Amino acid sequence: MIPVAPPPAPDLATYLGELRAVIEAGLARACPPDAPPLIDEAVRYAVLNGGKRLRPCLTLAVADAVADAARARRVDARWRALPCACAVEMVHTYSLVHDDLPAMDNDDLRRGRATAHVVYGDGLAVLAGDGLLTEAFGVLAESPSRVVPDGVAAAGADERLRAIAVLAAAAGVVGMVGGQAIDLAAAGRVRDRIEPVPDRAALENMHARKTGALIRAAATMGAIATGADDVVIGAIDAYARELGLAFQIIDDVLDVEGSAADLGKTAGKDAASGKPTYPALFGVDVSRRLAIECVARAHAALATANLRGRLAEIATWSLARQT
Amino acid sequence: MIPVAPPPAPDLATYLGELRAVIEAGLARACPPDAPPLIDEAVRYAVLNGGKRLRPCLTLAVADAVADAARARRVDARWRALPCACAVEMVHTYSLVHDDLPAMDNDDLRRGRATAHVVYGDGLAVLAGDGLLTEAFGVLAESPSRVVPDGVAAAGADERLRAIAVLAAAAGVVGMVGGQAIDLAAAGRVRDRIEPVPDRAALENMHARKTGALIRAAATMGAIATGADDVVIGAIDAYARELGLAFQIIDDVLDVEGSAADLGKTAGKDAASGKPTYPALFGVDVSRRLAIECVARAHAALATANLRGRLAEIATWSLARQT
């Protein structure tokens, strides 16, 4: 008897599309049903926006990889990780809503749509961001979580507490908020503070906090929620640190090279605002080479814990993406 | 032998001062030591401000009452409840920082000091609020919590998760953020939305969300963290609902009657901005009577769970306070 070959693995785009469908359904359930109509509308406008969902895809892809390594069922791992995935995307979305405010980056266009403060005014945009940040922790702490169907087994209490602590540390004053404060000061937007133009170390410190910390949290929370041991969690963290830096460098490069239509946001904005970027410090070619080196280190980190498959592909894809 | 009379109970002000000392020490430890200097300074400016600490005092007073009823040690109950007390005050402080922004209430003075956005600019004030909100959940989730000394026993994982869920629900889009959105729309500050002047039911709905929900969370988290059963938690919740409403009514009355020096904020601000208030709807005398009725119901709620002592005194004091 001739053995039947397994079906070809779906390509990465199909895989990510499958994860995104799970995430979109979770996010639609993440907004509590009994909020006042106006804030409910603003929160949904911000979060149900057809974004790439990079961070929650990473959470679920890590859950898949951990399940594969443990020969456990992917579907169970995904349900356990879904509250983490939704919470990470809600935190990411809140940070964009606040970052787009006139008091911060003053951006009118995001993912090809008017930003929340343009539609609802600055005050309600502040509140919508506050609400998303708060509900992210609600989604993780409540039992059962509103983002999963009835009867699905949740992660254990200790894992959920650890995931909440990881998210708070990544998003808080040591992580994302701290990085945004450094960025704001570097752009001369903090009263009476003149900050020097950063060098490479300062730029990497800022990005490690501003975008890197949340990407690392997205990945490690996927591992924590699915019961991975500390060796695997450490490998995932190292992988995500390099992936996050590669994403940031390519983002900066695309901002120089891209158009508003491709990016769904105002192109050339970083350079125009005098923001420190990789291309500004190193030029486009060296920046791309730095990103390639990050991806090589990401692959090496996966190998240390014998994690294969989609996570490596995601890292490679981060270099080739056009948006 | 003549029995020695017990020493007189310290008066309420002394008791609250004792709780405040515990809270201030906790809040000083609540800011992570490794945040970038600028955001660290802004967060500390906002939270270490010599406020009344009503909400965290309530958390610790509930912990004391639960410990007394169970004949347990107050000191253990206070340490278990302290992360909750600090988290509630951090959430309250973040809401003030954002509420004072020009895009919201546009207040320059708070507790007799310049508001955060006046000192640091709007962008960093947004970030300081975001950081406080995020770190509040970090304080609750991390183990051991940074706000308690080494070696102190924490509440169990299930209690801590429940406390996080209670805080998120109270502070989120159904609770505080939802109430602020209603308030913002009523003040005509949301683009293209004209909301009707609210009646009593609408005013109570708005206050129940905007200020009541967090006061209820402050009290119930104190009971949850100290292992109270659901009957006691329910009685505490009913008590705090009435206490919160009494506080709100008296706040509105003091805004009409007080001076900026007494209040530490701009007096007459609510009336000047056309905000709906109890005195505006009912006059000062009827408003005070409504507050007295709330306190009577708060006392009755305590009696149902046989909780005595300071909690009843706090409710009575809420009527007499001048600031």
Distance CA B268, CA A152 (A): 53
ipTM of the complex as predicted: 0.92
Please name which of A133, A88, A95 lies closest in space to residue A224, comparing C-alpha atoms. Answer: A88
| CB within 8 Å: B178 and A209 | no
DSSP string, A123-153: HHHHHHHHHHHHHHHHHHHSSS-TTS-TTPP
Q: Cβ contact (<8 Å) for A142 and B103?
A: no
H-assigned helices in chain B? 12-30, 37-47, 54-69, 74-99, 116-120, 122-141, 157-171, 176-186, 200-207, 213-225, 230-257, 260-263, 269-272, 278-282, 284-304, 310-320
Contact of B164 with chain A, judged by CB distance below 8 Å, is answered with yes
pLDDT confidence tier of residue B50, bands split at 50, 70 and 90: confident
- Supply the pTM of this predicted model: 0.92
- Which of A39, A92, A118, A195 is most worth mutating to test chain B (most B CB atoms within 10 A of its CB)? A39
Best of B167, B174, B210 to disrupt the A interface (most A CBs within 10 Å) is B174
pLDDT of residue A322: 74
- Cβ distance of A174 and B32 shorter than 8 Å: yes
Q: What's the pLDDT tens digit per position in A35-77?
A: 999 999 999 999 998 889 999 999 999 999 999 999 999 999 9
Q: Measure A294 CA to nearest chain B CA, in Å.
A: 25
Tokens of B297: 């119901």
Average pLDDT, chain B: 89
Set of chain A residues whose Cβ sits within 8 Å of the Cβ of B173? 31-32, 35-36, 39-40, 43, 131, 134-135
Strands B109-110 and B113-114: antiparallel
Q: Between chains, do B35 and A174 touch, taking CB under 8 Å as contact? A: yes
User: Given CB atoms, is A45 within the 8 Å cutoff of chain B?
Assistant: no
Would you call A173 and B40 a contact, using CB atoms and an 8 Å cutoff?
yes
Q: What is the pLDDT of residue A188?
A: 74
> Which B residues in the span 279-308 are in contact with A, Cβ-Cβ below 8 Å?
none
User: What is the pLDDT, as a whole number, of residue A192?
Assistant: 60
Q: How far is CA A98 from CA A46, A93, A117, A131, A226, in A?
A: 11, 9, 9, 11, 31
Q: Does the pLDDT at position A235 exceed 80?
A: yes
Can you give the pLDDT at residue A311?
A: 96
CB atoms A165 and B143 under 8 Å: yes
Q: Does B193 touch chain A (CB under 8 A)?
A: yes
Contact (CB<8Å) B181/A36: yes
Contacts of A174 in chain B (CB under 8 A): 32, 34-35
Question: Which of A120, A172, A185 is opposite residue B38, by nearest beta carbon?
Answer: A185
CB atoms within 10 A of CB A20: 18
- Is the minimum CB–CB distance between A178 and chain B shorter than 8 Å? yes
pLDDT of residue B101: 97
Q: How many other C-beta atoms can be found within 10 angstroms of the C-beta atom of residue B275?
A: 16
Residues 120-139 of B with CB under 8 A from A: 120-127, 129-131, 133-135, 137-138
Sign (positive or negative) of CA dihedral B155, B159, B161, B162: negative
In this complex, the residue of A160, A173, A184 whose CB is nearest that of residue B32 is A173
In this prediction, residues A108-137 reach a mean pLDDT of 95
Out of A108-117, B77-86, B169-178, B228-237, which region has the weakest mean confidence (pLDDT)? Answer: A108-117
DSSP-based three-state secondary structure for B119: helix
How many CA within 13 A on the CB side of residue A6?
Answer: 3
pLDDT band at A280 (very low <50, low <70, confident <90, very high): confident
What is the predicted pLDDT for the residue at B308? Answer: 76
Mean pLDDT of A107-116: 92
Q: Among A48-52, A234-238, B75-79, B103-107, whose mean pLDDT is lowest?
A: A48-52
Is the Cβ–Cβ distance between B131 and A177 less than 8 Å? yes
Q: Which of B137, B162, B221 to mutate to test the interface with A (most CBs of A within 10 A)?
A: B137
Nearest Cβ partner for B168 among A34, A38, A137: A137
Q: How far apart are CA B83 and CA A252, in angstroms?
A: 40
Which residues of B are less than 8 Å from A180 in CB distance?
127
Q: Do A190 and B121 touch (CB under 8 A)?
A: yes
Q: How confident is the model at residue A3 (pLDDT cuts 50, 70, 90)?
A: very low
Task: Answer whether A142 sits within 8 Å of B184, measured CB to CB.
Answer: no
Instruction: Name residue, tokens 């501003």.
Output: A210
Q: Identify all chain B residues contacting A221, using CB atoms and an 8 Å cutoff.
A: none
- Among the partner-chain residues B32, B127, B161, the one whose CB lies closest to the CB of A157 is B161
B202 Cβ under 8 Å from any chain A Cβ: no
Closest-CA distance, A196 to chain B, in angstroms, reads: 14
- Identity of the amino acid at B286: V
Domains located in chain B, CATH noted: 12-228 (1.10.600.10)
Q: What is the mean pLDDT of residues B148-173?
A: 95
Per-residue pLDDT band for B186 (boundaries 50, 70, 90) equals: confident
Q: Is the pLDDT of residue A107 over 90?
A: yes
The answer, for A196 touching chain B at a CB cutoff of 8 Å, is: no
pLDDT tens by residue, A33-43 = 899 999 999 99
What pLDDT is attached to residue A153? 87
Provide the pLDDT for residue B1. Answer: 45
Which position has the token pair 């009503």?
A: B54
Give the tens place of pLDDT for each residue, B83-135: 999 999 999 999 999 999 999 999 999 888 999 999 999 999 999 999 999 99
CB contact under 8 A, A168 and B138: yes
Most B CBs within 10 A among A96, A107, A174, hence the mutation to make, goes to A174
Contact A181 B126 (CB under 8 A): no
Q: Which residues of chain B are within 8 Å of residue A41 when distances are taken between CB atoms? A: none
Which is it for the CA torsion A212, B142, B51, B225, positive or negative? positive
